[in-house]
Amino acid sequence: MNKRKCHFKGCEEIGEYRAPSSPKDLGKYIWFCLKHIKEYNKKWNYFSDMTADEIEAFIENDIIGHRKTKQIGSNDTSYFEKISKISERMFQGMNNLENSLVHPSYYSSKYLNALATLGIDNKESSLNEIKSKFKKIVKELHPDTVGNNEKNKEKLTKVLEAYKTIKEQYDNNRKSYAK
């Protein structure tokens, strides 16, 4: 059984309840009886010795669990240059695919919905037009440019899925005409 004495001056009760000794030393504890732990907790103020700037910094870091993070665009190459390189690789070799090779029966509803997601009405848009529209939308919705917004995150996910669908359609068309 716990034989600690309550930390409150003059109290002879057993200290069964622990509390941090100070905001600066959260790993060091003092022990109280039930009556005095309640009093201690009512008076406890983690931010008492902090400036307004320190409190604001704490709150901002609390959002990410006080973990160190890196911005996506903090390296030599910007995030959007990386996206551009990735999309170029995804569409590599498809730039020469003639729109006339795509027979209307090859337009699946999934493909047409993907075009609509990107805001493209013309199902015979060139690959370069599609890529250009895709890059523009990604820049408009990405958290690095507009902040962390759940609605934009959902839209960005749909745009990325649409882009993948369009890429798959172009791949399939290219394969079927290569035979």
Clarify whether residues 105 and 55 are in a common domain: no
The set of long-range contacts for 7-13, using a CB threshold of 8 Å and a minimum separation of 24, is 7/31, 7/32, 7/36, 8/32, 8/33, 8/36, 8/39, 8/40, 11/35, 11/36
Clarify whether residues 94 and 11 are in a common domain: no
Instruction: Return the pLDDT at 60.
Output: 83
Clarify whether residues 80 and 152 are in a common domain: yes
Average pLDDT over the chain reads 79
> Which amino acid appears at position 140 of this protein?
E
Q: Where are the extended beta strands (E) located within the chain?
A: 17-22, 25-32
- φ/ψ of 149, rounded to 5, equals -125, 120
Instruction: Return the pLDDT at 175.
Output: 66
90: Cβ contacts below 8 Å, ≥ 6 apart:
167
Domain that holds residue 62: 1-69
Structure-token match 């309640």, residue found:
38
pLDDT tens digits for range 86-99: 777 666 655 555 44
pLDDT band of residue 42 (cuts 50, 70, 90) is very high
Clarify whether residues 89 and 168 are in a common domain: yes
pTM listed for this prediction: 0.41
Clarify whether residues 59 and 92 are in a common domain: no
Clarify whether residues 63 and 105 are in a common domain: no
**Does residue 142 or residue 178 have the better pLDDT?**
142
Instruction: Return the pLDDT at 100.
Output: 44
Instruction: State mean pLDDT over 115-141.
Output: 83
Is residue 71 predicted with pLDDT exceeding 80? no
Clarify whether residues 20 and 96 are in a common domain: no
Instruction: Return the pLDDT at 2.
Output: 57
